[in-house]
Amino acid sequence: MSIKLGTNDLAKYPFLNEASTYVKETHFDLQEFDRTEMEFILNRSFNKIDNFIKNGETNYKLEKFEIEILTFLASLLILKSASIDIITKKFALFESMRFEKYLVEDLKNSFKDEKKRLILLKIFNEIFKIDIFCETIVNEFYKIRVIDYIHRSIVFHEEEWKLINRTVKNGFVYLNVNEIVRLFRNELSLLIIDKIKNMKLVTFPDKVLKKSQNLKIYWDSINKRSKVSDHVNKNRTTPPCIDHIYKVLNNGENLPHSARLLLATFLLFSEKNIEEIIEIFKKLPDYNEQITRYQLEHLSGKKGSSKKYFVPSCEKIKLQNLCHETFVCKGIINPIQLLGKRRDEIEKEEGKG
């Protein structure tokens, strides 16, 4: 049976094939973004990107499907033209979190609404190439094949995602609505990144170029203020575990909670102030100033129990798979022991100089 998406669904999920078909069928030419009437769409796209990267906000008011489809398309164009990997990744993460909210809401309603359920099964099948099944005996649960589950849950480190901690029956893993959507966040985010990467364009509409130029200016200003490598003093030794975290940040990748905690406590111990540390954390794709500030104030003892958190020991860091030990670590039990040590002196001691 062919299931046709409603216009509401297209507004919520503009990354679906039917949305692209709509653009093709209306013979929309990208140069039309230069028309004055399109300014509204371009401003909407730019404000959305801006809000994601500066404030980490996913609050967004949905408009009619035609507007949403064009807003999504214009956002991809602006990001393609700006070509800043970290911003593309941030956008993809926040967009997928926004879509996640709609998916959760729709999946919850799908238990009562057969049509909605069929549409969602179609979405999962089209986007993630997977069959999900509604469990009719256990209330409000979906199930997926064990092999599909293992393939996706491998990226999660928390205990709750281990197969041993899940309900498994007859070759299926049972998941509630929030879990099933969370399982696909990475894939949705990668799908958006791929859409941007795979756009083949020779020229961009002038007004799109203008917006992407604004993004570049903003990003350059952030980089000038917070170039992560600038926090590394060339003559001093940076613990390799911290160095590795800087590299991940510079690549625009996300960090697990344990790595954020290690970096924050280490920087606080190194006498960096909260404002300076916030500049460094701005590189995280899911950066949110309010949450970051709150957590740093908590760790530094300025909020909450006024307990100051100490830098974890090498033993603990190793258990968290964050250790990248090299010869500079010989004999130390905490990364802070490397603070203030000159690299050339350690090299000399080790006969490497």
Cα dihedral 146, 147, 153, 159 in deg (nearest 10):
50
Closest CA to 281 of 235, 328, 237, 231: 231
Instruction: Give yes or no for residue 263 binding ligand SF4 (CB under 6 A).
Output: no
Instruction: Give yes or no for residue 205 binding ligand SF4 (CB under 6 A).
Output: no
Side-chain-facing half-sphere of 343: CA atoms under 13 Å: 10
Q: How far apart are CA 309 and CA 315, in angstroms?
A: 17
Please select the residue that binds ligand SF4; options are 278, 325, 339, 341, rule is CB under 6 A.
325
Sign of CA pseudo-dihedral 327, 333, 338, 341: negative
Instruction: Give yes or no for residue 166 binding ligand SF4 (CB under 6 A).
Output: no
Q: How far apart are CA 114 and CA 137, in angstroms?
A: 16
Please select the residue that binds ligand SF4; options are 14, 56, 205, 239, rule is CB under 6 A.
239
Please select the residue that binds ligand SF4; options are 82, 267, 284, 329, rule is CB under 6 A.
329
- Count, residues near ligand SF4 per rule CB under 6 A: 11
Q: Which is nearer to ligand SF4, 258 or 295 (CB)?
A: 258
Please select the residue that binds ligand SF4; options are 10, 53, 70, 314, rule is CB under 6 A.
314
Please select the residue that binds ligand SF4; options are 240, 256, 270, 286, rule is CB under 6 A.
240
Q: Which is nearer to ligand SF4, 243 or 279 (CB)?
A: 243
Nearest approach, Cβ of residue 5 and ligand SF4 (Å): 50
Nearest approach, Cβ of residue 331 and ligand SF4 (Å): 10
Q: Which stretch binds ligand SF4 (CB under 6 A): 31-39, 41-49, 273-281, 321-329?
A: 321-329
Nearest approach, Cβ of residue 322 and ligand SF4 (Å): 7
Instruction: Give yes or no for residue 335 binding ligand SF4 (CB under 6 A).
Output: yes
Q: How far apart are CA 41 and CA 138, in angstroms?
A: 44
Q: How far apart are CA 142 and CA 177, in angstroms?
A: 7
Distances (CA, A) of 250 to 148, 149, 192, 253: 32, 31, 21, 8
CB 328 within 8 A of CB 240: yes
Instruction: Give yes or no for residue 323 binding ligand SF4 (CB under 6 A).
Output: yes
Nearest approach, Cβ of residue 335 and ligand SF4 (Å): 4
Instruction: Give yes or no for residue 241 binding ligand SF4 (CB under 6 A).
Output: yes
Q: Which is nearer to ligand SF4, 130 or 336 (CB)?
A: 336
**Phi, psi for 57 (deg, rounded to 5):** -100, 135
Nearest approach, Cβ of residue 290 and ligand SF4 (Å): 30
Nearest approach, Cβ of residue 332 and ligand SF4 (Å): 6
Within a 10 A sphere around the Cβ of 78, how many other Cβ atoms?
28
Q: How far apart are CA 282 and CA 223, in angstroms?
A: 10
Instruction: Give yes or no for residue 347 binding ligand SF4 (CB under 6 A).
Output: no
Closest CA to 175 of 217, 133, 225: 133
Which residue ranges make up the site for ligand SF4 (CB under 6 A)?
Answer: 239-241, 314, 317, 323-325, 329, 332, 335
